[in-house]
Structure 1
Amino acid sequence: MADKVKHVLGLSGGKDSSALAIYMSQAHPELDIEYFFTDTGEELDEVYEYLAMLEGFLGRKIRYLDPGRDFKFYLAQYNQFLPSAQTRWCTKDLKIKPFEKWVKSEFTEQGYTVYSYVAIRADEDFRQGLNSKNGSLITKLPFKDDGIDKAGVFEILENSGLGLPAYYDWRSRSGCTFCFFQQKIEWVGLKERHPEAFERAKQMEKTSLDHGSPFSWSEGETLLELEKPERIAQIRADHEKRVERAKAKRKVDPLRPEQGAVDIDEIYGQQKVCLACHK
């Protein structure tokens, strides 16, 4: 009897996982890969729109995993304390646990070995947070194995016709609208493009601080302080300086002379991310 094997690939709505889905569908059409997305209910509309486009390209449905409870439920469970880089309860409860529950109940308890494909690029470090205690769940890193870097990801998306998700015009990551890993200029972008989401985040922050939370969404200041016109002007000025410095440091690749706009990683350095949310 043949070994029971399942292949799964998690999508965040971000560029790297989307490019990996495209890459695997083309480079390994023999694999029956199930694509999934864990929905917190707090993602940008553009994320859902891009996932729908990706479904069309792949020719198969993306499975939406339900965490069972939404962000506000868990916020109350954590005494209204906001998640932070130190306490990433949002990733744990809304992304990782639903994935592990799904894999265990539908596959590994049924005797399957599950291969999970993760979009760590060749120009990135293999970071912690990928290893599972479940010995039947094995992580695979095709981009790292095949030498595909960030430029390669852009090339895959461009050649597919999908391009980048729309939010990359102003934001560097997918996931929740109010991710604490956002740069201040991205909070400004959220206020301008999705003011209702910014207001929800501001209200959550106020409630959290009223309950004694040591964290605000953006390091060193509240959203109420960040949204003041003079502060927004200061954030913009700082951002523009950073953009100019990044442009000056950029090395021209003769094989890819058209490198596009300078992205957030180039401006602020390689950023911290939650792998389950932002790849």
Structure 2
Amino acid sequence: MAEHHVLGLSGGKDSAALAVYMRLHHPELEIKYFFTDTGKELPEVYEFLGRLEGFLGRPINYLNPHRDFDFWLRQYGNFLPSASTRWCTRKLKLEPFKNWIKPWLAAGDSVHSYVAIRSDEDHREGMVAQHENLSVHLPFREAGVDKLAVLEILEGSGLGLPKYYDWRSRSGCTFCFFQQKVEWVRLKQIHPDEFEKAKAYEKTAIEHGSPFTWAHREPLTELEQPERMAEIETDFELRKQRELARRKPNPLRPVTCEPVDIDDLYLEDEGGGACLVCHK
């Protein structure tokens, strides 16, 4: 019986930092890094994964299920996924991973999966292991690594943050329904072609009776109106300034003030939140 060590990458900062951390602290482990590719990722995600692969000195396995988002959208009658019906996470992220490790488990091998849940995320749990030979490990929680420590790891490695963090707080599909509305505004500004694709998906879904729109209770055709986009950006900046004023710098940390992520300014009526497997 063999032992396999696997670490899932989302294209986000936490999983990338965990990959760096494990490479530096546990070089004896032959970790297999993987990325479940939906085919609808931002170009910045692929660029960052390429740089990360160079640092790790090991290949990243791209788990392409050969049935992309478009295939599953047709299977679900053109109904868009939503926070309450996350078929995209199940079909495009979880099932490809389970199918990847299935032969090992069937052979009686042990699989150790490392998940990037930080020490300051008490409210989050990793994937529940549903096989006796699958073990889920949370190295950051065990080592007391929080958000600021994640940033320090990435800066120290020379990787820094993925470029999309300049305007977006998550990796994952360009049209992720967990985006806040200011992220939709920025998608239109920075990747207008991807915004148009999302509009097309939404139009087809509505025509087929889908009860969901990408943005919470607001079609993209309404959200993209200039007056509405300006309103969304103004509201976001006000919330950001209030949050910055509330925070106090920590003189004991190299990064003295924790940056404000868009998810830190979560509004319930905008959706918000995230699937761990997609954006960590």
The two structures share one fold, judged by TM-score above 0.5: yes
Residue 266 of structure 2 aligns with an amino acid whose one-letter code is: Y
Offset at residue 25 of structure 1 (A): 0.3
Evaluate the alpha carbon distance shift between residue 169 and residue 277 of structure 1 in structure 2; reply closer, same or farther with a 3 A threshold.
same
Aligned residue in 2 for 1:21: 19
Q: Give ranges in structure 2 of 5+ residues lacking alignment.
A: none
Evaluate the alpha carbon distance shift between residue 269 and residue 40 of structure 1 in structure 2; reply closer, same or farther with a 3 A threshold.
same
Alignment partner of 1:33 out of 31, 34, 40:
31
Q: Deviations over 1:70-122 (max 9, x none)?
A: 101101111111000001000000000000001002x1112211000000000
Q: Deviations over 1:20-56 (max 9, x none)?
A: 0000000111111000001000000000000000000
Provide the C-alpha distance between the structure 2 equivalents of 1:13 and 1:137, rounded to a whole number of angstroms. 23
Segment drifting more, 189-198 vs 127-136: 127-136
Offset at residue 150 of structure 1 (A): 0.3
Aligned residue in 2 for 1:113: 110
Q: How many residues align?
A: 276
Q: Deviations over 1:154-184 (max 9, x none)?
A: 0000000000000000000001000000010
Provide the C-alpha distance between the structure 2 equivalents of 1:126 and 1:146, rounded to a whole number of angstroms. 17
Evaluate the alpha carbon distance shift between residue 128 and residue 153 of structure 1 in structure 2; reply closer, same or farther with a 3 A threshold.
closer
Identical amino acids, percent of aligned pairs: 61
Provide the C-alpha distance between the structure 1 equivalents of 2:121 and 2:259, rounded to a whole number of angstroms. 20
Residue 276 of structure 1 aligns with an amino acid whose one-letter code is: V
Alignment of 1:1-279 (within 5 A): 3-105=1-103, 107-125=104-122, 127=124, 130-256=127-253, 258-259=256-257, 261-268=259-266, 272-279=273-280
Provide the C-alpha distance between the structure 2 equivalents of 1:209 and 1:180, rounded to a whole number of angstroms. 15
Segment drifting more, 134-143 vs 171-180: 134-143
- TM-score when scaled to structure 2? 0.95
Residue 57 of structure 1 aligns with an amino acid whose one-letter code is: F
Paired residues of 2:16 and 2:52 also in contact (CA < 8 A): yes
- TM-score when scaled to structure 1? 0.95
Provide the C-alpha distance between the structure 2 equivalents of 1:207 and 1:164, rounded to a whole number of angstroms. 35
Offset at residue 258 of structure 1 (A): 3.5
Provide the C-alpha distance between the structure 1 equivalents of 2:177 and 2:266, rounded to a whole number of angstroms. 15
Offset at residue 255 of structure 1 (A): 1.3
Offset at residue 259 of structure 1 (A): 2.9
Provide the C-alpha distance between the structure 1 equivalents of 2:110 and 2:43, rounded to a whole number of angstroms. 34
Q: Deviations over 1:232-270 (max 9, x none)?
A: 010011011101101111121111364364221333379
What CA RMSD, in Å, does the superposition of the two structures yield over aligned residues? 1.5
Paired residues of 1:11 and 1:18 also in contact (CA < 8 A): yes
Residue 50 of structure 2 aligns with an amino acid whose one-letter code is: A
Provide the C-alpha distance between the structure 2 equivalents of 1:252 and 1:269, rounded to a whole number of angstroms. 24
